[in-house]
Chains A and B, each alone.
Chain A
Amino acid sequence: MDQRIRELGAEIRQRVERVKITLQGSPPGRRYLQELKRLQGDTDAVFRSLRLPSGQTAHVVYLDGMVNADEVEERLIKPLLLWAPKKKADLKLLREKVLTAADLEEVAFPPDLLTGVLEGKTALFLEDAPGALLAEHFGPAQRKVEKPAIEFSIRGPRDAFTETLSWNLALIRRRIRDPALRVRTLQVGERSKTTVCLVYLENVAPPQVVQEIEKRIRRVRVDAILDSGYLEQLIEDHWWSPFPTVNGSERPDAVAAGILEGRVAIVPDNTSYVLIAPVTFDGMFHSPEDSYERWLPVNLIRWIRFIAAFLAIATPSLYLALTAYNPGLLPRRLALKAATAREGVVFPVAIEVFLIQISLEIIKEAGFRTPSPIGQIFGVVGGLVLGEIGVRAGIFSELMVIVIAITALASFSLPTFPLATTVRLLGFALLLFTTVLGLYGFLLGLFLLGVHLSSLSSFGVPYLTPYTLLPFSDWKDSLLKLPLTLFRKRPTFLQPQDQVMQKPRPPAPLREDRSGRADSK
């Protein structure tokens, strides 16, 4: 680490010296131009020199495609050319009286200017004046805010994050208009120079967690961060675990809810999937709309999710254990039915289960990869044809098709995509245990799952929280969801600085009768 810092320091000093030596004695603007000339060979770099009425030369530099050229024309070039006074201009004057661009940042160090242009900003500087201006928000045509593609909900807001960082930040800010909302900006990626923002409530989020997340992000030394998934894998606690210890969402309301609880959102540029940490196993079963619906139906839905997760993991393994290893456990009529259904099936149960499980995964994957209308049809037709013909050909039994249908439906009913993929993987692992040791292997597999979950943590928060804590205040939004009026405090396992989430409601105002007298009824 220290060596890396020393190397970076030496590199910066060398660059500064190089710029000083080559440009010594030249006008200040020439230094900026010289630095930016490194881009001149690129076909997308636009260099525009303007002769102002004052006789000065101004340079505008930007990367075509990353900047909207019309906006540059309208807000930078046109005001400059239309500016009539022959008085000699400086950057302060231009910024305050001439240019109409809203967001202008002044830089003095040439490498910063180059970085700014590479980030998609427009550089403006005068040849004979020190300093340069970087204009922001001249973005190219960007994807508009659209409906969530994965985390669809029946009730709740319909907007989702886009690939533009500033819009994503705005979507969060629109929901939390609190001056304590902090946006800390970092740059990650040796070559991509991706901007990553940490968003949190300064007086709620535990400072040690914010510091730890920032520290881990600063330690990342990778060429590029092309998606939040890169960052997730580079900062997570347990890289070897199938369970994600950093969660994500494409919904601003979900991220805002997390921030309000005391978590930290990690918003990288160029991705519509925002990360949030710390997370717990229980949180993977929550959907944002749980907070929008009334509490009683939400409890039913949440338990259905828990049952679905268990069924998605365990159904094929249980089928295998009960039909191949311990058929004596089934009631006689059911055992006979199962045996009759398997009559004519050419493979042993274990191979049959593996074959159909793999077929199901192939159909799922094909459905995801093909365009959506075709993908849906493909999934249904593929499933039907494969099931029907597989049964007729004696590859699968009818009971097996039912088992796999339950598994598939259960896996689709999970609220978060990372959980759904983890469950698919765990299903295979449990199947392997059961194939080797039958019902005992199934139990051992479940036990191993529990052991693994109990050994995980996310930024210091045990992953199995709140199932293993006695403070029942943390249980109000876990296995059961209590009415919103009882949500007075934030989850204590996050150790928020400000614990109060909902203050007691003031007493109802006295009702006034027509004569204006207060009526306490």
Chain B
Amino acid sequence: MKFGVVVFPGTWSDRDCGWVIDQVLGQELTYLWHKDPDLKGCDCVILPGGFAYGDYLRTGAIARFAPVMEKIGEFADRGGLVWGICNGFQVLCEAGLLPGALIRNASLEFRCEWTHLSVERTDIAFTSQCEEREVLRVPIAHGEGSYFADPATLSRLEQRGQVVFRYCDENGRIVPGANPNGSLHNIAGIVNARGNVLGMMPHPERCSEEELGGTDGRKLFRSVAESALKVLVS
């Protein structure tokens, strides 16, 4: 399994994702520079956390124009695995690869803390190693991670089961108190209709080793690694 981690100017989770892929999971890793004209034969492309291009206009708003994004769009159209984490999720929404938008946290503050996620879908590559309704403990770190979509989009997402992760309490109950940022329907991560493009605000690469406080994130990386053979990139 070859993972490609995209580096925009201002990206900072690239090295953390790279560390988990390479050192923790022992998978093949390459970095994809935002100016790169091709994806170097990657099976899964990760858009990591950070403040791509400074996020000055709006999170992800400039990054979507990067040369590498065109290739990522084509790759996704062919069924390739694309995984946006934090800022990467914001970029995918801006690029139209995922519906909705991430807006300012309801608290109006940046939040870096542990959250619990209820896994709502396990039939996709990203969560193939998880159990239905399994509770994962994964940290967040964002100022603009409140998921928003218009009512029609939201109900379409729900009907098609595109919500992959919801913020929940430690017992898996999806309650307002467990929602750290005001996301609609406690949404922490969604997938496209085809199931190959995932966006999530929490950071699985920050909880893939015991010494960092938990290993639930590793499950997601392993899911992707082990599902490689099942996904056919045409």
* Chain A partners chain B: no
